[in-house]
């Protein structure tokens, strides 16, 4: 009996270990957003918008994955987006890496119920930045009416902060 209970405990612990890592990463990201000024959050939103458009155009992150899902396609998108983050970090392109991290955390929150509340909190913090993001994008000479500027105000429906049950 004890052996069966220990087996179940270890199996459950192994299943939750990846969730704990995702939770810790997302908590740190949300904490960093909380510590940023609105202008800094605007820069994150701008780079997230640029990343979203690029990932969509590359076929890595189609619109259908911007909802709660556990599909294999979503897991593949997470892996591809994580590779982009690693590449940007290795190239010391930290602003771009941070923008892509928004989408990696979004995908994780959409597929992992245990961290969905943190995904909503991340988007609550990002709501401080769309107007400032437009200024950043204007400085980068991105046309005012473009896919990128439209992306600045997008919040995945299933992670909208106003729908937070807590």
pLDDT digits 0-9 by tens, 103-142: 999 999 999 999 999 999 999 999 999 999 999 999 999 9
Closest residue by Cα to residue 105 from 93, 119, 95, 85: 119
Q: Inform me whether the pLDDT recorded for 71 exceeds 60.
A: yes
Report, as an integer, the average pLDDT of 27-53: 97
Burial grade of 42 (CB within 10 A; 0-12, 13-18, 19 or more): buried
Model pTM score: 0.86
Q: Cα(58)–Cα(166) distance, rounded to whole angstroms?
A: 36
Confidence (pLDDT) at 39? 96
Q: Inform me whether the pLDDT recorded for 145 exceeds 90.
A: no
């Amino acid at each position: 009996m004890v052996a069966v209970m220990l087996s179940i405990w270890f199996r459950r612990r192994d299943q939750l270990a990846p969730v704990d890592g995702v939770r810790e990463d997302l908590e740190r990201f949300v904490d960093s957003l909380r510590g940023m000024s609105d202008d800094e959050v605007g820069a994150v939103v701008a780079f997230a918008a640029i990343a979203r458009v690029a990932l969509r155009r590359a076929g890595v992150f189609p619109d259908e994955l911007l909802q709660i899902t556990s599909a294999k396609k979503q897991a593949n998108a997470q892996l591809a987006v994580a590779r982009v983050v690693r590449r940007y970090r290795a190239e010391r392109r930290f602003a771009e890496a941070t923008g892509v991290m928004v989408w990696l955390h979004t995908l994780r929150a959409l597929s992992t119920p245990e961290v969905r509340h943190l995904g909503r909190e991340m988007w609550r913090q990002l709501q401080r930045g769309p107007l400032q993001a437009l200024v950043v994008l204007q400085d980068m000479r991105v046309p005012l009416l473009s896919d990128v500027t439209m992306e600045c105000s997008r919040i995945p429906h299933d992670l909208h902060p106003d729908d937070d049950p807590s």
